[in-house]
Amino acid sequence: MLRKLTLPLVVAMSITACATLPAPPPSGSQQPTAAPAKAKVTHIRFSLDWAIEGPSAPFLIALDKGYFAEEGLSVVIDRGTGSAGTVTKIASGAYEMGYADINSMIEFNVKNPDKALQAIAILYNNAPMTVFTLKGKGINTPSDLAGKKLGAPAGDAGRRLFPLFAKQVGIDPNSVEWVTMEPALREAALAKGEVDAITAFYGSGWFGLLRNKVAPEDIVAFMYAEQGLPLYGNAVMASPKFLQENEEAVKGFLRALARGWQEALADPAAAVEIVKRREPLIDTEIETQRLKMAIEKHFLTEEVKQNGFGAADLERLKKNIALVVEGFALTSSPQPETIFTDKYLPPKELRMPPGT
């Protein structure tokens, strides 16, 4: 049976209801303080040069541990299919930034001046282009390549720059015979004896030969950089327009990446565990070895120990550009400042290798 509310209780309920109503806005010029604006988030689509492997660790560490997010960035990282393809993807606007061979970028810039890109951090301080052969082939020094049969894809950077390598080691570049093949068949062709040598990036060629049952002690490698060619390798790059319009975001990206790079150098095994979270099918042991090899050969050179992550030596860069212009038979030679800028790099003390 329903009971009637007594008058005192009705009054009490009315007072409580009124107390829960929001207070009226202040009169006159006194307005409520606006809620703080949300921090701007910059979205960056980023393309690697190749598959997600051990040497991709600096990028994936920065992503996995939230270093990009701390800089106000929302970053998506995709694998690539080769440096030339990555350069084209960035230039077309499909990606805001990417990671590719700086020599491929130089060639692209000369041929496409209206779409030219700019490098902002060099990770491969030594270019990884290498000639691989096997013991028993009679190729004990680079000069022994004369008269031999070499295999590589038509667009392979090592093949296209082979004339520079040949000139450096004192042989006629036309003295070798080239066999064109798909990248996946390159190391197998050498292992089967179908060619005498191949050109490949150092890490790719080395581990490709191991996969084809070649013993490490039977691998002979002539890396271009170790033969006196002062070429830089892979670098972070973007269009000048994007860089200018997103200066603080780009600086934040490189701060985060420098942290990832330092952690990859400090603990390669832990770094590869992060890579495996993104790419579960990788072989952890092989990718740890591949990362350690990249650190030894490309990431941590004497120049990097002096100048830190990402930097370039101006005189060396000038020589690099001149060699690429010669090797690719380009019609003009770009100025170094159009190819690389250190404007977006963190201060040197934030870019030094761990333990220095």
pLDDT digits (tens, 9 = 90+) for 100-145: 999 999 999 999 999 999 999 999 999 999 999 999 999 999 999 9
Q: Region 341-351: what's the mean pLDDT?
A: 98
Cα distance between residue 69 and residue 322, in whole Å: 39
Pick the closest to residue 243 from 338, 140, 112, 107 (CA basis).
338
Asked if residue 335 has pLDDT above 50, the reply is yes
Instruction: Give percent of the chain with pLDDT exceeding 90.
Output: 85
CB 190 within 8 A of CB 198: yes
CB 250 within 8 A of CB 238: yes
pLDDT at res. 293 = 97
Q: Region 244-272: what's the mean pLDDT?
A: 98
* Of residues 340 and 328, more confidently modeled: 340
pLDDT at res. 9 = 34
Give the pLDDT band (50/70/90) at residue 14.
very low
Pick the closest to residue 166 from 17, 308, 327 (CA basis).
327
Asked if residue 195 has pLDDT above 90, the reply is yes
State the alpha helices, DSSP H only, in 71-185: 83-92, 102-111, 157-160, 162-169
pLDDT at res. 142 = 98
pLDDT at res. 22 = 42
Give the pLDDT band (50/70/90) at residue 28.
very low
Q: What are phi and psi of 330, to 5 degrees?
A: -80, 155
> Roughly how many angstroms between the first and final C-alpha of the chain, as a whole number?
85
* CA dihedral of residues 345, 102, 327, 126 (deg, nearest 10): 70
* Of residues 29 and 173, more confidently modeled: 173
pLDDT at res. 155 = 84
Give the three-state DSSP class for 120.
strand
Q: How many CB atoms lie within 10 A of CB 170?
A: 10
Average pLDDT, the chain: 91
Number of H helices and E strands in the chain, helices first, is 16, 10
Asked if residue 331 has pLDDT above 60, the reply is yes
In this structure, of 13-27, 232-246, 299-313, the range with the lowest mean pLDDT score is: 13-27
In this structure, of 6-15, 98-107, 147-156, the range with the lowest mean pLDDT score is: 6-15
In this structure, of 64-73, 135-144, 150-159, the range with the lowest mean pLDDT score is: 150-159
Give the pLDDT band (50/70/90) at residue 356.
confident
Asked if residue 13 has pLDDT above 60, the reply is no
What is the tens place of the pLDDT at every residue in 36-48?
A: 555 789 999 999 9
What is the tens place of the pLDDT at every residue in 161-191?
A: 999 999 999 999 999 999 999 999 999 999 9
Instruction: Give percent of the chain with pLDDT exceeding 70.
Output: 89
- The residues that bridge with 130 in the sheet, in sequence order, are 200, 223
CB 351 within 8 A of CB 310: yes
Count the alpha carbons within 13 Å of 314 in the hemisphere toward its beta carbon: 5
Cα distance between residue 254 and residue 259, in whole Å: 9
* Tokens standing for residue 300: 């941590």
Q: Region 220-228: what's the mean pLDDT?
A: 96
CA separation, residue 129 to residues 5, 111, 224 (Å): 91, 22, 6
